[in-house]
Amino acid sequence: MAYDAAMPTSTPGMLAAPLAGIDDAELPGVPADLPPVVDAHVHLFPDRVFDALWRWFRAHAWPIRYPLYSAGVVDFLLSRGVDHLVALHYAHKPGMARTLNRYMAETTAENPRVTGLATVLPGEPDAADILREGFALGLAGVKLHCHVQCFAPDAPDLDAVWRTCADHDKPVVIHAGREPKSPAYACDPHALCAADAIERVLQRYPTLRLCVPHLGADEFAAYVSMMHRYDTLWLDTTMVVGELLPGDVPWDDALARPERLMYGSDFPNIPYAWSRELERLAARLPDPAARAAVLGGTARAFFGITRSSSSVELP
């Protein structure tokens, strides 16, 4: 189903009104008893794009606790003991993706502990070329955002993107969950996004590897169930563990597949302590093997990360 502006909207969504920040204490660093941590959901943008994003967040979503530009983001997290970062971005208008991809490639090339993804605006006539160029620059996958870019996951405009990523064995992180929805978006995420739309993509492209962040909020049960049924679907836990976004998460079922689940923070665009979700997620993972997978191992496998903080190649 492609987006249709005439489709009726559903509920106002989690961001019907801006949310308050949480003034919680932060840890000085990653706890020593945790395995190496990969933050699989960090945002890096040029300064002017960050400025525009933060204006939107402050007006329509939540306050930004850490208004740090890209170099500050990388330094903040790595200096606190995070082992590796996966850097995401997205283009919200045509003609923007190539510039963003060059910026991401240049920024991440400066630090082997940061893995950058490409982006593209679905429907751009040269979408496949943009992605191939991004991969040639060393970018390790693709980030898409249905809410910001106004597309349905199973729309025909995505075929070139899915085919190119599958052909190059590059993973895709796609914000395809319905939430958090804001009335300030140019389109209605509840009309665009549904778990069954992602299922149709998985069926059409059986070798395409997808990660849906935020555990697919607010269709948590549907996405967790689908993760058990499709070997090409992963989920990340970003912003779901910290009790900011409401909903009933089937945690037992989700954590039963630690090799398909990964930790992410959404740093720096968060309204609470950087360590809040890391602490809470670790507490849900008493088994050492599961903890090692969710906090780092799964992301390393999904994104093909082979370096640790010691810059030693991993097996």
Give the pLDDT score at 309: 62
Residue 227 has pLDDT above 90, yes or no: yes
20 lies in a domain? no
**Mean pLDDT over residues 209-213, rounded?**
99
Residue 6: exposure state from Cβ atoms within 10 A (0-12, 13-18, ≥19) = exposed
Q: Please provide the average confidence, as pLDDT, over all residues in the chain.
A: 94
Joined together, the tokens standing for residue 42 give 């960090």
Does 285 reside within a domain?
yes
Domain residues for the domain of 133 are 38-302
CA atoms of 295 and 36, how far apart (whole Å): 7
Q: Is a pLDDT exceeding 60 seen at residue 131?
A: yes
Model pLDDT, residue 114 = 98
Q: What is the CATH number of the domain that holds 147?
A: 3.20.20.140
Tens of pLDDT, residues 77-112: 999 999 999 999 999 999 999 999 999 999 999 899
Residue 249: left if φ>0, alpha if ψ -120 to 50, beta else—which one? beta
pLDDT of residue 246: 80
For residue 183, the number of C-alpha atoms closer than 13 Å in the C-beta half-sphere is 6
Task: Give the pLDDT of residue 10.
Answer: 65
CA–CA gap between residue 221 and residue 205 (Å, rounded): 23
Q: Is 270 within 8 Å of 70 (Cβ atoms)?
A: no
The reply to whether 76 falls in a domain is: yes
Evaluate whether residue 148 is within a structural domain: yes
Out of 196-210, 236-250, 273-287, which region has the weakest mean confidence (pLDDT)?
236-250
310 lies in some domain: no
Structural domain total, the chain = 1
In-domain check, residue 103: yes
Within a domain: 233: yes
The contacts of residue 93 (CB under 8 Å, 6+ apart) are 121
Residue 12 lies in a domain: no
The pTM of this model reads 0.94
